[in-house]
Amino acid sequence: MVNIAISFFAGLYGGHLADIFGRRRLMLIGECIIMFSYLGLVLVNSPFFYLTSSDFYLFISY
């Protein structure tokens, strides 16, 4: 239920932002956020730098 409510409100806000900035630019920004999220997951799970909480937060941001 929470997922549906969040998707609904994010869709309304995302539609408004798409009208302001343009759909293509907004999709590129979203893909860049996903790319940095994956990069963060790789860095956090490396043997030199391991934080469980950061792994959780980066996984949620995807």
Calculate mean pLDDT across residues 32-43: 85
State the pTM of this model. 0.59
Q: What is the pLDDT of residue 49?
A: 66
3-state secondary structure (DSSP) of residue 46: strand
Structure confidence at residue 41 as a pLDDT band (50, 70, 90): confident
Question: What percent of the chain lies above the pLDDT cut of 90?
Answer: 19
3-class SS shares of the chain: helix, strand, coil, % to 5: 85, 5, 10
8 Å CB contact between 44 and 50: yes
